[in-house]
A and B are shown apart, each in its own frame.
Chain A
């Protein structure tokens, strides 16, 4: 065992010295390798962070949301509708929600106007999200005026700006009181946008939804788990598509690795011949080359991954944002919360190191079986 360890140490020593002697040659491959890891890692880190973000947003949302459908379209909840639901067992809390979209002609962006369930702002005061703060250059206690769809002007005072923590959802929010909301949109009294239900026992959610659908045929219950699942699938699918597109890059990299590994320089061939002549075994040469591959892979993996981490979490994935995020253009900047996941790293490893290992296997073997007597035949 000790002998074995010592031997591996020698092989690593040798391969390190050998790599150092051929810096220029190895640097090219290392660069491409690192770039590949960087691209793939950026994609996975980014989508995973988005998934986390979505999960975090939904964690605080109600288990079930009920919308009313008219002719297959989302319609307002009429008065008296909620009373019909009240009798379902397992429902802990139920409340009508008021929210809507407003297109601001000044910044040419959509805002979400909403009446929060708790900590409702006082009349004529609003709480805004960070995107609004930036795009309109607003701060606390500033006044702001919106022209409603009916043409009337409404003025508000900004009471507070929401924190940046989860900007993905809060960016475009404008929170206001119920009275203001109904006045601004001319919302009919007693009507609501949708209904939020809290269900304490997660096992009951499905039953509640089934009962709702039976009691109110025109209702569409939306389960939080389903939304979460759908988000997860969509992100997975997007990530998969991007990786599939990048598979061309992986293939190209494999070919490059193959080519680099089989196109040994005359000098390198001579060295392997010498090693074999002075008593290195074919297996020793293969192991030496294996360590070389491992060192190159680890370096590329580490550097590429760290670079991707910086790219995604400090530069907001500037290179991939348009492809992967793609829902609204409103969020000009948002910081994702850093998160690394074991499965993702393992998957990334399969996508980069395994193709490399497969590509260099045969060339390494070919180099290792050099005739030991070549050096004598000059």
Chain B
């Protein structure tokens, strides 16, 4: 699905505090599988995630998505790909305060110009699937942590992406909620979505849901299982 070749990423290039977060990554993220990136903080997992998720471009190296080289694409087209093909679940959930759950969920649909009734119907369907239908009108700041994450998951799915990217999805959840999340993840994987996540939570990386774990340290891959 996604192939990374010789990926390097620098921050503050050409300045005194230049810093290479990624140092030569070769990775193949397989389709319809759940892949986890594991490593201590500062190992470059999140940076790698942003490159795979078309949030950022590598300084050096090639990224190809389904055979197409996308590493040289301007931001405008990366955004298009991201919108269509990727769904994101962030560690902090990153919902927009003051908007209802429903409004938050349909936000990624705005730039597509899809008719509102279609978006709303899809959002309701997703909410119902995660047993959150009764909270659709609630402002997101009134929701519990678990509910917020489920809203975030719905938002990630609104444009029907093939790929899901999750950054430390269980870091802000207790074990009960984390287990619930893994159950949702299993269902999503069963629907045939490709999932890439970062985590150092044993509950995640040791779970049977995860097909492959890749270890990272100092911006390099270190094998895994």
Contact = CB atoms under 8 A, between A and B. Distances in A.
- Decide if A and B touch, CB cutoff 8 A: yes
Interface of A: 2-4, 6-7, 9-11, 14, 17, 21, 267, 270-271, 274-284, 371-373, 375-378
Nearest 10 interchain pairs by C-beta: A279-B83, A3-B113, A7-B113, A10-B110, A373-B55, A373-B50, A21-B98, A278-B108, A6-B113, A281-B79
Interface string B71-106: 000011001101110101011101111110001000
A373 B167 CA distance: 12
Contacts of B75: 281-282, 372
A274 B111 contact: no
Contacts, number: 90
A14 B110 contact: yes
Contacts of A279: 79, 82-84, 86, 108, 111, 159
A281 B80 contact: yes
B108 to A, nearest CB: 4
Given A271-B96, A277-B94, A376 B49 contact: yes
Contacts of B182: none
Given A7-B111, A277-B90, A376-B55, 7 more contacts: A3-B113, A6-B114, A274-B96, A278-B108, A371-B56, A372-B55, A373-B50
B136 to A, nearest CB: 16
Contacts of A2: 113
B56 A372 contact: yes
B113 A376 contact: no
A155 to B, nearest CB: 78
Interface residues of B, number: 38
- Interface of A (DSSP majority class): helix
A184 B108 CA distance: 87
B70 interface: no
Contact of A376 (B90, B96, B159): B90
Contacts of A274: 94-96
B116 interface: yes
A14 B99 CA distance: 9
Nearest to B90: A375
B107 A275 contact: yes
Contacts of A21: 97-98
Name, among B75, B91, B96, B115, the residue most crowded by chain A CB atoms within 10 Å (CB to CB). Answer: B96
Contacts of A9: 116
Contact of A284 (B91, B98, B110, B159): B110
Name, among A7, A280, A283, A372, the residue most crowded by chain B CB atoms within 10 Å (CB to CB). Answer: A372
B99 to A, nearest CB: 6
A39 B180 CA distance: 61
Contacts of B82: 279, 372
Name, among B98, B107, B111, B155, the residue most crowded by chain A CB atoms within 10 Å (CB to CB). Answer: B111
B110 to A, nearest CB: 4
B98 A17 contact: yes
B46 interface: yes
Nearest to A285: B111
Nearest to A21: B98
B103 A280 contact: no
